[in-house]
Amino acid sequence: MSLLGFGSKFFISNTCSSSPVLPLISSTSFSSHLQFHHNFTLSGRKNLVIHAQNIGYNSEPSLIDVMESEKELPQVNKNLYPHIEPYSTGFLKVSDIHTIYWEQSGNPNGHPVVFLHGGPGGGTAPSNRRFFDPEFYRIVLFDQRGAGKSTPHACLVENTTWDLINDIEKLRQHLEIPEWQVFGGSWGSTLSLAYSQSHPDKVTGMVLRGIFLLRKKEIDWFYEGGAAAIYPDAWEPFRDLIPENERGSFVDAYSKRLNCDDKEIQFAAARAWTKWEMMTAHLLPNEDNIKKGDDDYFSLAFARIENHYFVNKGFFPSDSFLLDNVDKIRHINTTIVQGRYDVCCPMMSAWDLHKAWPEAELNVVPDAGHSANEPGIAAELVAANENLKNIVKNGQ
């Protein structure tokens, strides 16, 4: 995976250019000083390149070396694939309480990939199929417990990270898939990391987006006032639903309302919780996304399940659990796609994961926020799947 022979890979994509993205050469065991340059490529387009100058160690390639490597890089598709319909769908009973919806699209004999949606509680959408080449991939989507078409709707009983990991394995076995590629963004990245660390022998590669490690500082940033510095207009309706004497913990205050017996209080809290996230998920406002907050059916599952997981700290035994277990997945070919201006899942988490796991490729999209549907992020997600496709094809 390392294009110039170095273990750590860090890219800043330039989605305005059709030229291949150039790699960051980062340090190995040496301290590094990062410098930002604007270099012109052979095609005359401008790409942002980061070089790492290692103190006491000369690892920086010359501009000619970088340009030569660019000429050798194959062009990969970055365009979303056309809409397709599933060739099979079904429901799998995973416990005495829960039944999950699943679907398959693309090539029935293709390389399997499982899409892990965000939230938790967000559910899947038909557009999720478009990140994958339908001629190469056997695309598996499913709605996690309580979300989307899975039943019972918005149910929190027996709904933990470890239950979901078991469900993924039950679905893999049900579909008779020996191993598969894993794709997940936001909470989907959390679940992808937890699943792959639990079953590393079942994962052929990963594409992660908008990294969320479910640490206290990440929850505090988004739900306890940090992100309000950037979106005060969106924050105030979320804040004002809660009386001042309960604002010591908005997550706890919303939990009280989302789990009360009064359905109207539940729905009001769910709408406020969901709108706050939807209004901050894109670098530029997306009205269709924001309207999801008005859908009581969607909002109730989204808000209740998210809040349930956050109150319980993701059901992880420690705050740094996912970082502490990176060694279990270090060998898995992985690309991380991160929007520079992601307010929901700030880049600090992707950066912390990159430092713990330099073997994974970190691709920063400079003109994007959180959503997978932003043009720059969507392009890099498609490209990441294309790269993993080529690795499988070449038998690497």
- Which residue numbers are catalytic? 186, 342, 370
Phi, psi of 349 (to 5 degrees): -75, -40
How far apart, in whole angstroms, are the C-alpha atoms of residue 58 and residue 258?
Answer: 57
How far apart, in whole angstroms, are the C-alpha atoms of residue 56 and residue 29?
Answer: 11
Provide the token pair at 230: 């950037």
Q: Are strands 180-185 and 111-116 parallel, antiparallel or unpaired?
A: parallel
> What are the DSSP E strand ranges found in the chain?
9-12, 23-25, 32-40, 46-54, 88-93, 99-106, 111-116, 137-142, 180-185, 203-209, 334-339, 361-365
Identify whether the C-beta of residue 363 lies closer than 8 Å to the C-beta of residue 338: yes
Q: Are strands 203-209 and 137-142 parallel, antiparallel or unpaired?
A: unpaired
Q: Does the CA dihedral 327-328-333-336 come out positive or negative?
A: negative
Residue 323: burial class (beta carbons within 10 Å; 0-12, 13-18, 19+): middle
How far apart, in whole angstroms, are the C-alpha atoms of residue 374 and residue 286?
Answer: 10
What is the CB-side half-sphere exposure of residue 52 using CA atoms within 13 A?
A: 21
Phi, psi of 386 (to 5 degrees): -65, -40
Q: What is the largest CA-CA distance in the chain?
A: 67
Q: Are strands 334-339 and 361-365 parallel, antiparallel or unpaired?
A: parallel
How far apart, in whole angstroms, are the C-alpha atoms of residue 208 and residue 381?
Answer: 8
Place of tokens 């990963």: 206
Residue 274 CB partners (closer than 8 Å, separation 6+): 292, 293, 298, 299, 302, 303
Closest CA to 381 of 186, 102, 147: 186
Closest CA to 335 of 210, 217, 247: 210
Closest CA to 3 of 58, 54, 74: 74
